[in-house]
Amino acid sequence: MNAGLVDVFGIAVAAIALASAVLLMMVHKELGPFTGLSAGGKWMLMGAFGMGVLAFGFKMAVAAVMSGMPERAVAPLIAAYGGPAALHDADGRSFDDRALPARYVWQPLPAAAPAPPDNPTTPEKVALGRRLFNDKRLSADGTLSCASCHDLQGHGGGDGRATATGIGGQVGGRNAPTVWNAAF
């Protein structure tokens, strides 16, 4: 075992002992009386909570064993893998499970939204879009515009609320999503 793992394992043993003591006190002095459990029920509750502590201890023991012998534990698995065989789906088609080459590499959005070549952005179109976005006459009852819920300057294109409020005070099931980068 390497020295770093010995330190972690030592801390884990102390943490398990402390957690067990805390569980014992918590169940017998607080949770048990609060729920009206009998002595047997308290032990059962402590056992249920203690399973998490035991699972953590088991995980630490496995980590200690595996790190102490990586050649014997991991190297045979890597050698045996060698690459996947062709897999078949329900229709009998075969496919290879190896990672496909990346077709798309993440990159930041451009500074300006791309305009279609046959419909270039003009100052007049931008002004029209701004007027339509703020025009209340486009709503069903003439009281709300897009800008009523999608505050471009104050709330990042959303409404800043937990749930959206619509026509006639109707409350939606979620907030108004942002419209920033909608052109992309």
Judge whether 136 and 143 are in contact, CB under 8 Å. yes
- Alpha helices by DSSP H, listed for the chain, are 3-25, 32-35, 39-68, 70-73, 75-81, 123-134, 146-149
Question: What integer pLDDT is reported at residue 66 of this predicted model?
Answer: 74
For residues 95-112, give the mean pLDDT: 68
pLDDT band at 85 (very low <50, low <70, confident <90, very high): low
Give the best-scoring range by mean pLDDT among 63-77, 91-105, 151-165: 151-165
State residue 131's pLDDT score: 95
Q: Does the global pTM surpass 0.75?
A: no
**Does residue 147 register a pLDDT over 80?**
yes
Q: What is the pLDDT of residues 31-57, one digit of tens each?
A: 777 778 788 887 788 788 778 878 887
Q: Could you tell me which residues come within 8 angstroms of residue 114 by beta carbon, excluding any fewer than 6 positions away? A: 183
Q: What is the mean pLDDT of the chain?
A: 79
The span from the CA of 36 to the CA of 94, in Å, is 60
